[in-house]
Amino acid sequence: MLSDDIAIRVQNLSKCYTLYDAPRDRLKQFILPRVQRGFGRPARNYYREFWALKDISFEIKKGETVGIIGRNGSGKSTLLQIVCGTLAPNSGFVETNGRVAALLELGAGFNPDLTGRENVYINGSVLGLTKYQVEARFDKIAAFADIGQFLYQPVKTYSSGMYVRLGFAVIAHVDAEILVIDEALAVGDAFFVQKCMRFLRDFMTHGTLLFVSHDTGAVVNLCKRAIWLDRGRTESDDKPKRVVEAYLSTLYESSQGAHTVVGNSAARQVEDEPTTPKDMRLEVINASPHRNDIELFSFSPDAPSFGKGSATIVSVVLADKAGVPLSWVVGGESVRLVIRCKPHADLLSPIVGFFVKDRLGQTLFGDNTFLTHHDAPVPAREGQILEARFDFCMPTLPVGDYSICVAIADGTQNTHVQHHWIHDALFFKSHSSSVSTGLVGIPMTKIVLTLH
């Protein structure tokens, strides 16, 4: 029996699929083992076992938002289907506390030969609504889906985006207490995705949300917790930022081999690195009544990192336009991010980049050197110092903690080898801010209110 504060309990859940190499093996499996046992011989299996899930256990509290991440084939969709009751496990059990509404694989639960309207009624009844309740909400469902006259056409004529629109519109109006979503918003257009996100944020204030996504930014943005599945097992269950960082590190390792860089060392820093920070805030910004004071901390060489190790990042500095390191900066001030790297092998087309992230790990902005130099790469030889400089205007930041993630790779924007990636190379803190909404603010040159 679930306690009142638990929405979902998964206990020792396992699911195994039988895989056949050829259709005839199914017939063999049906007949031959019985014959073999009849002659007193050991029965032979003509299939292979694939364990999609192995001994998964976790609890989700009411009102909690949990993201499930992992590579294709890691068991994410299987887990959600078992939670929703559309798939039976081989062992273990799932308990839910409240009405569950799900948006799983594209078109799931739809009869392709029936119209959208007819499918709304069918889905509504499956989710526990009476015909009269669906009728009362139909106009709102139709308005949310916004697919026009296609609502009265067979759903087999729908595009992938229409499937998602109709499916999400239904689950948004069934008064569910638990929502389960499997990568559904990846095919929606920007307008509809924003509408769905507004609904989800409102739902998160009172309901429980469990969703699968390959968009790690969305997991960090939406979730209070993330679960990483790998080959059917729970690899990590922690705060989204920690889980996503570990997951990304493993993704790069799987594509380019084991990492040889697991951290940086202060001994690698370049000896001629400037050591005396200087406060260079502009007077005009400094005098503003809405000044955004940002305190900068020094480069963290031992921050968590990964990479192949053919180059290492030896220093990261936020400086003024002259290259003098800053200890404080003000939102709106022109700054220069200087990243210095040391190749340990020849790099034909090095790429240096950065992300600025908030305390939750959400990426606010960033850039890299590829587009500027893809026509004329700057090869770096072993032992040289490669320096990347990024000049930009520091945005106005809400009060809070921030970090800069930096990396050096070799290759192209789409195909490259990651040699050194440092998650939190440099921290800074916004002490005061005029930002009232949003993740960042843009310094206004002038704001005027007039009457006419």
Domain that holds residue 302: 257-430
The verdict on 17 and 159 lying in the same domain is yes
The verdict on 69 and 163 lying in the same domain is yes
For the chain, which ranges sit under pLDDT 70?
A: 1, 105-108, 184-190, 255, 257-291, 435-437
The verdict on 279 and 143 lying in the same domain is no
Is residue 367 a part of any domain in this protein? yes
pLDDT at 61 (0 to 100): 94
The verdict on 173 and 90 lying in the same domain is yes
The verdict on 14 and 50 lying in the same domain is yes
> Where residue 20 sits, what CATH number does that domain have?
3.40.50.300
3-state secondary structure of 353: strand
Phi, psi for 218 (deg, rounded to 5) = -65, -35
pLDDT at 396 (0 to 100): 86
Is residue 113 a part of any domain in this protein? yes
User: Could you give the number of structural domains in the chain?
Assistant: 2
With 0-12 / 13-18 / 19 or more C-beta atoms within 10 angstroms meaning exposed / middle / buried, residue 369 is: buried
The verdict on 222 and 278 lying in the same domain is no
The verdict on 224 and 290 lying in the same domain is no
The verdict on 242 and 341 lying in the same domain is no
pLDDT at 265 (0 to 100): 45
pLDDT at 286 (0 to 100): 53
pLDDT at 272 (0 to 100): 45
Q: Which residues of 5-32 are buried (b: 16+ CB within 10 A; e: fewer)?
A: ebbbbbeebbbeeeeeeeeebeeebeee
The verdict on 245 and 287 lying in the same domain is no
Is residue 446 a part of any domain in this protein? no
pLDDT at 184 (0 to 100): 66
pTM: 0.73
Is residue 324 a part of any domain in this protein? yes
The verdict on 27 and 143 lying in the same domain is yes
With 0-12 / 13-18 / 19 or more C-beta atoms within 10 angstroms meaning exposed / middle / buried, residue 56 is: buried
pLDDT at 287 (0 to 100): 54
> Where residue 369 sits, what CATH number does that domain have?
2.70.50.60
Q: How far is Cα 424 from Cα 436, in angstroms, rounded to an integer?
A: 26
Q: How far is Cα 389 from Cα 395, in angstroms, rounded to an integer?
A: 18
Is residue 439 a part of any domain in this protein? no
pLDDT at 102 (0 to 100): 86
Is residue 360 a part of any domain in this protein? yes
The verdict on 29 and 160 lying in the same domain is yes
pLDDT in tens, 241-266: 899 888 988 887 776 766 666 554 44
The verdict on 266 and 286 lying in the same domain is yes
Is residue 299 a part of any domain in this protein? yes
pLDDT at 268 (0 to 100): 43
pLDDT at 264 (0 to 100): 47
pLDDT at 37 (0 to 100): 85
